[in-house]
Amino acid sequence: MKTFWIGLILTALLASLGAQAEVFRWTDKNGKVHYSDAPPPEADAQARRLYDSRIEQDKQPYETSKAAEKFPLTLYVSDDCKEHCNSARAWLQKRKAPFSEKLVKTNEEGDALKQLTGNKQVFLPTLTVGSKVIEGFEAGAWGSALDLAGYPK
């Protein structure tokens, strides 16, 4: 039981250490195991590297993370759509809206996009906000869609 409590205390202490620390473990001549942040001068110690166990926090604002979770953004572009697609991409970046980008290269990808939009031809750039599809770049329409989805301005 005593070993359990020592282990629990050591675990708590180690978890509270800074970003990166080195801990030394050695056994004395009586067989007792010791842990320290400095190696003992007379014993053969094993260095153990510990790392920060804190969870990285999302670097996006909370509202953006929640909106992206419920209404993910996907920007569909092609190599032929340089000026309009670049403008759309820049607009999303300026708005700091996290989005994934899909390059439509093949006929199959174009057909899949036609099926998604319900149209017989593809208008690029196309943005999906969750399940809502917006064809062509128009800042007002895209802004309204992002506002309704809860993305911060």
pLDDT tens, residue by residue, 1-43: 666 666 656 566 555 554 455 677 777 788 787 777 777 766 6
Closest alpha carbon to 98 in 137, 152, 57: 152
What's the confidence (pLDDT) of residue 76?
96
For the four alpha carbons of 138, 141, 143 and 149, in that order, the dihedral sign comes to: negative
What's the confidence (pLDDT) of residue 19?
45
Give per-residue pLDDT as tens, 57-69: 557 889 999 999 9
152 pLDDT more than 80: yes
Residues 6+ apart with CB under 8 A from 149: 67, 70, 71, 129, 130, 132
Give per-residue pLDDT as tens, 80-95: 999 999 999 999 999 9
